[in-house]
């Protein structure tokens, strides 16, 4: 392939940027053209799951967050000096000049975009959960969305918002103890930074003095 060398020289963020764009595109398409399940169709539940707009918005949020972290690493390594004229992906809208695309990505607030996407996922999830015979809307999916929203809010120093998301995730995860422990640790960190000592103490007590959670706590905890 004539462009094999260019493909190999493309930095990791370039590929993640493409995936993030496609994730957002799928989110918008599935939201505008929501699947209506058919009665007595055994494949409906699978199609509902894979065509769930909340699922795709969550994926868009996660990929955008990965892109944010990758760009931070690459700027440290001065990869912004790369200037390669590379062909776009088939069907892609990327600029042919990688340096131009990097400058465009650098101007974006990826954390705000990721938070917007996951908040949209949570809104759509409520609608999906209210549908009859809806199998894809599970409690675990909601916990994951709340947790990611809380983590992103913490990264943006929106600690009140983060605490709200994480506290809801902590409450909803009571049936999945390993998940509850993981969420609880992040919630404690958030409340410590927020200065909410009373709530922090209650969460700590819930984790340390609960026989179900103790087995998932390390000595360092």
Residues, the chain: 221
d(CA 101, CA 71): 12
Q: Is 96 helix (H, G, I), strand (E, B) or coil?
A: coil
pLDDT tens string 16-67: 999 999 999 999 999 998 877 666 666 666 677 778 899 999 999 999 999 9
d(CA 62, CA 67): 9
Q: What angle do CA 140, 220, 145 make, to 5 degrees?
A: 20
- Least Cα distance to 191 among 209, 204, 208 occurs for 204
Residue 158 DSSP one-character state: -
Single pTM value for the model: 0.79
pLDDT tens string 139-189: 788 899 999 999 999 999 999 999 999 999 999 988 888 898 999 999 999
118: left (phi over 0), alpha (psi -120 to 50) or beta: alpha
């Amino acid at each position: 392939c004539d462009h094999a060398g260019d493909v190999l020289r493309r930095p990791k963020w370039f590929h993640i940027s493409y995936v993030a764009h496609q994730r957002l595109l799928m989110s918008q398409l599935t939201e505008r053209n929501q699947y209506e399940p058919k009665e007595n169709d055994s494949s409906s539940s699978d199609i509902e799951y894979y065509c769930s707009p909340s699922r795709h918005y969550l994926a868009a949020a996660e990929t955008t967050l990965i892109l944010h972290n990758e760009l931070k690493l690459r700027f440290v390594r001065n990869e912004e000096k790369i200037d390669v004229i590379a062909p776009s992906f088939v069907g892609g809208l990327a600029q042919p000049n990688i340096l131009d695309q990097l400058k465009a990505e650098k101007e974006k607030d990826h954390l705000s975009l990721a938070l917007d996407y996951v908040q949209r996922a949570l809104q759509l999830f409520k609608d999906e959960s209210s549908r009859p015979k809806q199998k894809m809307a599970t409690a675990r999916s909601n916990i994951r969305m709340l947790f990611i929203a809380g983590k992103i809010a913490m990264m943006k120093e929106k600690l009140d918002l983060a605490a709200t998301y994480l506290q809801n995730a902590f409450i909803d995860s009571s049936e999945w103890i390993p998940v509850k422990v993981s969420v609880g640790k992040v919630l404690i960190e958030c409340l410590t930074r927020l200065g909410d000592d009373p709530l922090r103490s209650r969460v700590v007590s819930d984790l340390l003095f609960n026989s179900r959670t103790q087995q998932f706590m390390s000595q360092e905890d």
